[in-house]
């Protein structure tokens, strides 16, 4: 296991978690993900295993429809760093573009059909 560190663009939201190597990603075609366009982690991590640091109270959350999924974003720079999933509440996926060690443009990915949920 390795500790991965990520942050939003301005750095006011940072996070870290443990995972094996990040070798692929996930995209989703639901109404919000298609707008964000981010490559997400293909795995989820339970909230208790994630370290999240926020300064200046910039972490905000957006919810819609059934309100189960929580789409977090930085109020300062607008970046989406992670979200709590709808299918497995309490578990989070990450925006791989926020992790400098990961080249999100070189990873293979699957497309999840979130639009059909």
- CA nearest neighbour of 33 among 77, 71, 78, 89: 71
Q: Let me know: does 23 contact 40? Beta carbons within 8 Å.
A: no
- CA nearest neighbour of 77 among 100, 93, 50, 54: 54
CB of 12: closest distance to Zn ion in angstroms? Answer: 5
What does the binding site for Zn ion look like in residue numbers (CB under 5 A)? 8, 10, 12, 74, 76-77
Of 11 and 46, the one with the shorter C-beta distance to Zn ion is: 11
Of 82 and 114, the one with the shorter C-beta distance to Zn ion is: 82
* Residue number with the smallest Cβ distance to Zn ion: 74
CB of 50: closest distance to Zn ion in angstroms? Answer: 17
Sign of CA dihedral 34, 36, 38, 41: negative
CB of 62: closest distance to Zn ion in angstroms? Answer: 15
């Amino acid at each position: 296991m390795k500790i991965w560190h990520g942050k939003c663009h301005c750095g006011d939201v940072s996070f870290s978690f443990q995972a094996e190597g990040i070798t692929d990603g996930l995209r989703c075609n639901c109404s919000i993900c298609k707008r964000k366009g981010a490559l997400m982690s293909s795995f989820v991590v339970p909230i208790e295993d994630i370290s999240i640091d926020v300064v200046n109270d910039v972490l905000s959350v957006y919810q819609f429809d059934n309100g189960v999924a929580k789409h977090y974003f930085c109020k300062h720079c607008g970046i989406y760093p992670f979200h709590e999933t709808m299918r497995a509440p309490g578990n989070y996926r990450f925006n791989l573009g926020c992790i400098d060690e990961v080249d999100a443009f070189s990873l293979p990915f699957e497309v999840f059909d979130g639009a059909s949920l």
